[in-house]
């Protein structure tokens, strides 16, 4: 099993910045996708940014130019740097990581893990 621990959320004024962190732990063999989603009250969960094997990166239009996704492979950690925050960015942000786990070939299996979410609130 792969566990995700998120941190970095909080309250910030419009125009401010936050950096979210998501650390993955467990018997990780490989990571194929690391992504950040968010869900605002009364709205569906949406993809904010994702990093796919080969370092292909996709951003939601609302995040493009303001948010940056990155990772530290040595720490199995993915980050979301959020600048120029707006009140409409207020949401619960969740980390999603996909890959393969297992100490050896015979125990290997795919995983799709989610963090518990961290609240980001942007005041006007």
Residue 83: the pLDDT is 98
Question: Is 48:118 a contact under the CB 8 Å cutoff?
Answer: no
Pairing of β 77-82 and β 28-39: unpaired
Residue 47: the pLDDT is 98
Angle at 56 between CA 15 and CA 40, to 5 degrees: 40
Residue 84: the pLDDT is 98
Q: Read off the pLDDT of residues 14-38 as tens digits, 9 standing for 90 and up.
A: 999 999 999 999 999 999 999 999 9
Q: Read off the pLDDT of residues 78-102 as tens digits, 9 standing for 90 and up.
A: 999 999 999 999 999 999 999 999 9
Q: Read off the pLDDT of residues 59-68 as tens digits, 9 standing for 90 and up.
A: 999 999 999 9
**From CA 124, how far away is CA 30, in angstroms rounded?**
41
């Amino acid at each position: 099993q792969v566990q995700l621990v998120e941190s970095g959320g909080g309250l910030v004024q419009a125009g401010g910045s936050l950096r979210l962190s998501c650390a993955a732990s467990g018997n990780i063999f490989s990571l194929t996708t690391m992504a950040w989603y968010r869900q605002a009250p009364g709205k569906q969960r949406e993809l904010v940014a994702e990093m796919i094997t080969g370092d292909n990166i996709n951003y939601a239009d609302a995040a493009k130019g303001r948010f940056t996704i990155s990772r530290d492979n040595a720490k199995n950690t993915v980050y979301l740097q959020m600048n120029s925050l707006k009140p409409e960015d207020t949401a619960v942000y969740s980390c999603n990581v996909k890959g393969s786990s297992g100490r050896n070939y015979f125990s290997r299996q795919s995983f799709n893990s989610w963090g518990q979410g961290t609240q980001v609130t942007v005041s006007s």
